[in-house]
Homo-oligomer: A and B are copies of this chain.
């Protein structure tokens, strides 16, 4: 019934090359290792022979003796979420530079799946980048005992972390809203298991404090378009003129839900998202959002992981933080209801639409 499809195609091994070149196998091996001895006349010749014979060193066998597989795992929370595409690109770029293969693991927003997949991949990888992991801190610490781990978008003590500057992002958004005359805003929360969700809310609180904007929170909702739509219903019952959502997908869903309820964005309500996914620029109205350097996140985390794999200690102090910027588009506008008290001056010249404010100036 079944006929072997591939003749597993005898690879040419070190021995074939050794024989052909008239040297010992170990010499061949040496001709293919990293440092120095690249130029002994013999090594030269060996490489030629190897090339001619189409020799390729077998990474599995190599791994068996060196216990280095040259593969790393990149775990993302949800491959369906476009945020991760750029992160993956960044990570793969960094990994490819170091000739590492990346194993992508899609956790599908599930703690359980994440652990299971990781468990399976563990013996075949040299290290792990956890992007928006849904595992518990302690589970992550356990992993990090077995393999080098770098965590993205989350801060855990004793584990190297790369995060974006959420406080500043929120702050920028709140300032922007404040300048438009909003004196109170609602945060639409995402998954509770998300570290980013926690810090964003705390940052909202803090910014509200300093900027004298009243804040409240609704949620949690699923970090998806559907989640945002659900939030719209709940939001209708609250008096609010401005919201910040956990992420862009929710913002998009929210706007859709609001439209259905006859609430106009940005006239009746201003919406700010988080992430600056591609869709943010194609919805109507175009979404104002806090943009993170996605590619850089992936790249930085991966580079750091590589360093750890190569024996560096792993920067476990403060997390590395990457800058963000506010991208102002059309989903935010001046608060135009009359309730503003006369003593609260309107605005410092609202920024022209479409301008991009860079964090840090």
Contact = CB atoms under 8 A, between A and B. Distances in A.
A89 B85 contact: no
A97 B8 CA distance: 24
Contact of A88 (B58, B61, B99, B106): B106
Nearest to A73: B101
Interface string A107-134: 0100000000100110110000000000
B308 A5 contact: yes
A310 interface: yes
A82 interface: yes
A294 B92 CA distance: 24
A103 B106 contact: no
Interface string A135-159: 0000000000111100000000000
Nearest to A144: B6
Contacts of A349: none
Interface in A1-43: 1-6, 8-9, 11
A9 B146 contact: yes
A352 interface: no
- Interface size of A as a range: 35 or more
Contact of A79 (B69, B89, B123): B89
Contact of A99 (B4, B58, B120): B120
Nearest to A87: B79
A67 B3 contact: no
B67 A64 contact: no
Contact of A2 (B9, B96, B101, B310): B310
Contacts of A145: 9
A73 to B, nearest CB: 9
The residue among A11, A67, A145 with the most chain B CB atoms within 10 A of its own CB is A67
Interface stretch (A188-196, A276-284, A336-344): A276-284
29 contacts: A2-B313, A5-B308, A5-B312, A5-B314, A8-B67, A59-B123, A60-B60, A60-B63, A60-B64, A60-B124, A61-B64, A64-B64, A71-B103, A79-B85, A80-B82, A80-B85, A80-B86, A80-B89, A82-B82, A88-B106, A92-B106, A101-B103, A101-B121, A103-B104, A104-B104, A225-B278, A282-B282, A283-B284, A284-B284
